[in-house]
Structure 1
Amino acid sequence: MDFRTRSEYSGTVATAADLPTATRRSSDLSKHSAEVFAEAEDHPVIVTRRDGESLVLMSQREADGRAHLLQFAAQLITVALDDNGSLAERMAKVYPWMLALSPADRDTCALNLVDAARASFATDQPHLAIAELTSWKETATAIAAGLGRAEIQWLDDEAAETVERP
């Protein structure tokens, strides 16, 4: 079994090839199912079979993350193939919620999304791109709802009262 713990990676930059992988025989599923399932909750587990192709056991969260990342990749390819307009303008066609952002924020959003996607692909960590996409979409939604338009009233440090802990 080629299995390394996360603690073995502390202090180093991991690539997709370096991430923990466990390989188990199909008989381990019946003999040590709790152990195999616990590993699969942490990272995908390759289950080898004598009579067929190996299978991969992973959490639903992991499978969903990979599916979302592939969908995001397909959308980025669509943006890359379009040659009309800036990156931000092309991305706003695919993600119309970006139109709620200012032009400068659209540029920043587009670059951040591409960078997060590159990091996700390079490290096999779908959550990096999905979190960035979700963060920007939620920001655009809040702006569209009118949040952030109110004038901010800063508290004067000298006049601020200390509130007791409950």
Structure 2
Amino acid sequence: MGTRTFPFSTLINKQTSVFPALEDADVILERRDAENLVLMRSERFEAMVKGLGLAARSLAIIARVNRSLAEEVFAEELPWLVWLPEQARPQCVKELLDHLLAGSETGLLLPFARALREWQSTAEIYSDPELARRLRGPFDTTGAVDAEPPGSADG
């Protein structure tokens, strides 16, 4: 099983081309001015959610029993983890596992994806010692002005 891609307009104009593809594939509908959409049969979606939930709970159990093994698993799948300072790695692993577990239970995986992106960006900053040094400060605030908090301006 794989994926098939169609322009979004095909769904509107020729559903008979799109829906039969769902028998053996998930369908990506490409939109010009918005995020693409994915169509899939509910049994495949439910299987994916159940599989993800089982994998997340299993990994969380391993992490509780053997944190270093969980870190090894993550390091295998997330090679950028080595760029984080050693003391930040357990926090990263815990946060990602917590988000993954919560997402697998609720179906809300965007917080996991956001945390994954944030940790990877942080690791990439640490991979460049000069950039990491500059971001730690001190910062030249000559000429800086205080910004008003959102919603506080008269108007």
So what's the TM-score if we normalise by structure 1? Answer: 0.45
The normalised TM-score by structure 2 is: 0.48
